Structure 1
Amino acid sequence: MPPRWNIPPVTRILIGALIVQSVLSAAVRYRQWSAHSEIVVEWLTLIPQLSLFYPWTFVTSTLVENNIFTLSIAGLTLYHGGRYLERAWSSRELAKFLLVVSLVPNTLTFLALVSLFTFTRNERWTLTTIAGTIPLQISFLVAFSQLVPAHTVTLFRGVFSLRVPRFPLLYLGLVTVLSLTPLLTSASLFLAIFGFITSWTYLRFYKTVFPDLDSSQPTSMRGDASETFAFAEFFPGPIKPLVAAFSDQVFNFLVAMRICTPFSQADVSAASGNNFLQRNAPGGVRAEAERRRALALKALDQRLHAATAAPRTPPQAATQPRGSAVPTQQQPTTQTAMTSQPSTLLGETNYNPDHDSSDKGES
């Protein structure tokens, strides 16, 4: 199998389960199809009125799509997003993340539909099918916002440019529109909202992160106290202060209820200093690794230029003994590339946090 199809184990299981369960659900619905009734598979998808005797559906329903369009989108999302995050976090951390962002949004959506039935007495709410990878898709977008908060996606040759933390909100708008069509059920918007909140809460306060080997921080900590991953950062500039004020009030309430624990000054310092990383992340210690890579690339470029310019040196330089010249010229350069701590070379990579342009666009 070619290397580009090398899929990590958890992602492979995820895609396999999605295909098997979706095909099985389609086969059951096709076999029992009737023009006068809507076919549901209560032992595979979550239906508030029918699935209480099948508790596993609170998890399995996430990997069931009801049409070929959403199945194709889900397959591509799980392939690219799952493969990236599994290599960035490890298989164990990805499995824990997937379990949380599947079980919690499905449970909250279940309770929301039951509450709507209680207030409206409309039985349609309790017969709504809760299924699909929507919680996983928006959770992947939130995770990317944490890993690469400064990246900007540019499409159509610069006509459309959007920072990564804006994508979850854009996805919410898209789900809202599609939930009005037959492609998505009325439960889809609840799944998207609860998936967004659940994934951010887990990554912000509970996920285990690990320190840079060069730092003096403790062996591990939980959550991400960095300002770039604050809840208000997902919203446009004009409404950031309102969202920040509201989220602060909610957080203070959760702290008073002892549901959340406030970050210590050490946590904030560690997060702002980028001393912690996602284990096995591509490129290493997030921004720090990108800076080191930039330095190594610059050192390599200097060596290549020096090698190219070598024939232009005066003839007397060629009479020097080569056996002593090579080690004394190349070894310090290599050592410098591996040990120096750059401070301003980040702009030479694709990881450039364009603070000026982003601030102007949001203000």
Structure 2
Amino acid sequence: MPPRINLPPVTRIALIILLAQSVLSAAIRYRQWTADSEIVIPYLTLIPQLSLVYPWTFLTTTLVESNIFTLSIAALTLYHGGRYLERAWSSRELAKFLVVTSLLPNLLCFGTLVLLFALTRHERWTLVTIAGTIPLQISFLVAFSQLVPAHTVTLFRGLLSLRVPRFPLLYIGLVALLCLTPMLTSASLFLAIYGFLVSWTYLRFYKAVFPDLDSSQSSSLRGDASETFAIAEFFPGPVRPVVTSISTQVFNMLVAMRLCVPFSAANISVARGDHHHTFSHRGAPGSARAEAERRRALALRALDQRLHAATANAATRAQNAPVPPAVAPPIPSATGPTVQSQPQAHGHNAMTAQADGGSGLLGQTNYNPDGDGDRNGP
């Protein structure tokens, strides 16, 4: 029997909708294709000039891909990222996250294209198709930056090491380059930027904090006040002071307009891992999950060092051990080692090889709580 694919419900439903809508879109475009016409599907994808009479497209257009390359990437993103986040958060929280990071970037992109049309009077801005999982893909990268901010990803056999919070901006740069090709429309860059801002804002200020499993109290806290999830952490070290200054002024303005609420003392205590409070983010810095992960990484490193020491000591003892007396007298030879020395040398080489290969048993952890490989500043 083939292995059963175990997917959580929200991830499974999103994948089915993505595949069904993308295949339907491809079938419609195939039947209506002509050499001198550009096919649009206003009742399935969002087009500013044509889709106002189909309001559901503001949500469904996110799960429509126009070619096999972007469809493959979208399916892999939903399969792995959705499954991870649904198990880390819950099905309900992932569903809310998908709706927010799909609907709001589409609305903001729609407004941006209409504004560009009003400024330039070029009708092509209102005929741009807004579709694709780009907002979801960058939102998943932002969510991973919150859950595992201290982890690094090593590429090209160690030539390049990047912390997880570096990937959202790299993704925006990649989308900007692909927008210069026929693969992506000009709306894709707006979707990537708005997806980054919306997902970070939702996770920073509005997502509910999960209660500790050892506590019977219900959680009323929201957001993530930790310093490792500040928006400046997504940028390289030299520009962080500028980003911090701008973001602080914007936040103070939003607070004055009563659009945002400052973090309470309880939120800050949770972010710092204060043990007097019984709430924590699942996987957030300072939480029980992050602490357990840090301890596992340290234990793994200590165990690896002990394995090196044990194999080295065993090799030393085998080398210094006396050779047991032979039953029969050795046969003299004019050249080459004696009969007794051959097993001893073979045993020594095997033990030395075991000591040299011990490092491959457990490997090295990528957890780096005190620093990162690509940070240029404090």
The equivalent of 2:3 in structure 1 is 2
Q: State how 1:54-133 maps to structure 2 within 5 Å.
A: 54-133=54-133
Residue 21 of structure 2 is aligned to residue 18 of structure 1? no
Correspondence list, 1:271-350, <5 A: 271-273=271-273, 276-279=279-282, 285-291=288-294, 293=296, 350=366
Q: What is the alpha-carbon root mean square deviation over aligned residues?
A: 2.9
Cα deviation, 1:65-117, whole Å, max 9, x if unaligned, reads 01111111111111110010011001000000000000000000000000000
Aligned position for 2:248 = 248
Give the counterpart letter for 2:55 in structure 1. Answer: P
Do residues 154 (structure 1) and 157 (structure 2) align? no
CA shift in 2, pair 1:295/1:178, >3 Å:
closer
Distance verdict in 2 for CA 1:87–1:274, change over 3 Å: farther
In structure 2, relative to structure 1, the CA distance for the partners of 1:23 and 1:357 (3 Å cut) is closer
The aligned counterpart of 1:185 is 185
Deviation at residue 120 of structure 1 after TM alignment? 0.6
DSSP 3-state at the match of 1:168 = helix
2:139 maps to 139
Provide the C-alpha distance between the structure 2 equivalents of 1:91 and 1:57, rounded to a whole number of angstroms.
Answer: 23
Q: Deviations over 1:260-282 (max 9, x none)?
A: 1001222112101176444599x
Corresponding residue SS for 1:161:
strand
Q: 1:218 to 1:6 in 2, by over 3 A?
A: closer
Could you tell me which runs of 5 or more consecutive residues in structure 1 were left unpaired when the two chains were aligned. 305-347
Decide whether the 8 Å contact of 1:87 with 1:280 is kept in 2: no
Checking the alignment, whether the CA contact within 8 Å between 1:274 and 1:288 is kept in structure 2 is: no
The one-letter amino acid paired with 1:269 is S
Range 271-280 or range 20-29, more displaced: 271-280
Distance 1:21 1:248 in 2: 41
Question: In structure 2, how many angstroms separate the alpha carbons of the residues matched to 1:256 and 1:152?
Answer: 38
**CA separation in 1, counterparts of 2:303 and 2:67?**
51
* TM-superposed deviation, 1:295: 7.7
Moved over 6 A (4+): 215-218, 295-301
Structure 1 residues 259 and 28, CA gap change in structure 2 (3 angstroms): same
Verify the 8 A CA contact 1:88 1:278 in the aligned structure 2: no
TM-score, scaled to structure 2: 0.78
User: Distance in 2 between the 1:291 and 1:280 partners?
Assistant: 11
Aligned partner of residue 245 in structure 1, secondary structure: helix
Q: Deviations over 1:44-83 (max 9, x none)?
A: 0000000001000000000000111111111111111001
In the TM superposition, residue 212 of structure 1 has moved relative to its aligned partner by 2.8
Q: Counterpart amino acid of 1:2? A: P
**What's the offset of the Cα at 1:218?**
6.5
Tell me the matched-pair count.
321
Amino acid at match of 2:198: T
Distance (whole Å) between structure 1 residues aligned to residue 97 and residue 272 of structure 2: 24
The equivalent residue for 1:345 is none
| Amino acid corresponding to residue 80 of structure 2 in structure 1 | H
CA distance in 1, matches of 2:280, 2:63: 29
1:220 is displaced (CA, Å) by: 3.9
1:290–1:349 CA contact under 8 A, matched in 2: no
How far apart are 1:292 and its partner, in Å?
Answer: 5.0
Question: 1:178: how far off?
Answer: 0.3
Structure with the higher helix share, 1 or 2: 1
Structure 1 pair 244/36, CA: closer, same or farther in 2 (3 Å)?
A: same
Q: Residue 355 of structure 1 aligns to a residue in which SS?
A: coil
Conserved? CA contact 1:90–1:280, under 8 Å: no
Where in structure 2 are there 5+ consecutive unaligned residues? 308-363
Q: Tell which structure's C-alpha radius of gyration is larger.
A: 2
After TM superposition, give the deviation of residue 358 of structure 1 in Å: 4.9
